Structure 1
Amino acid sequence: MTKTLNIRTMAAALLLAGSTMAPHFAFAQQPSGIGRTQSLKHDLVDPGREVIQVRVDFAQGAAFGFHSHPGEEIAYVLEGTVQYQFEGQPPVTLKVGDSLFIPAGAVHSAKNVGSGHAAELATYLVQKGKPLVVSK
């Protein structure tokens, strides 16, 4: 009985430790070739809102399909070339050092159109408790 209890206690501790090391937000399904690393999450003065900052890495040719966010996003390209597409508008292509404001709820996509790796720093000003990414 004690051995079973110890194994269960250890399993519960490992599950708890693993869950606290995971990012503080969830994405429905991460597209292939896209990686996300959260660097900041902080409450804003505006009740019910928070800022979340994420590094998004794109493998060559990787794309994040049409989606939206429950708040504003500022995208700043750190590496490579990223093309953003808003519904019903021509694509916008950004290179290192360029940034883009994405309004709350705006349906858009992002794709690495360069010849190598690409990365952006995404800063979200969003409503707390809502999914950060809403797939379309």
Structure 2
Amino acid sequence: MPELKPKYFRALLLALGLLFLGACASGPAPVSPEAPEANLPRSRVPTPTLPTDSTVSPAVSPVDSLLEEARAFREGGNLSASFARLERALRIAPQRAEVYLELARSHDAAGRPQRASASAERGLLYCSSSTCAALRKFIES
């Protein structure tokens, strides 16, 4: 049996890998419109109930939850817990101006005005009109 050179062996492995991925990528066969219904009688098939507008609560993003927690910890005097929440929020959403605003507030509460100003400057890169004014206050002070 002839020995395979490493160059050909890699090409063969690549071809087999692509062939395998191609086989996995195909989905299930499409269902024809004439497909039989479920074997349950119509009266037993549960119908989904949609919630009314009064029962739907707005979804809170993880970043918003972290910002609320950070604010509560800052107001309670636990600055280390506040900074921990804000670091997590920055990892999730590094382009949210609200995170930088809360970070500036926490640095200000910790007595670090230079860091508060630096955080506010970074937040200005991503701010909208509502947060821009609040961020500028940290830079101007």
State the TM-score, normalized to the length of structure 2: 0.22
State the TM-score, normalized to the length of structure 1: 0.23
Higher relative CO (Cα under 8 Å, sequence separation at least 6) belongs to 1
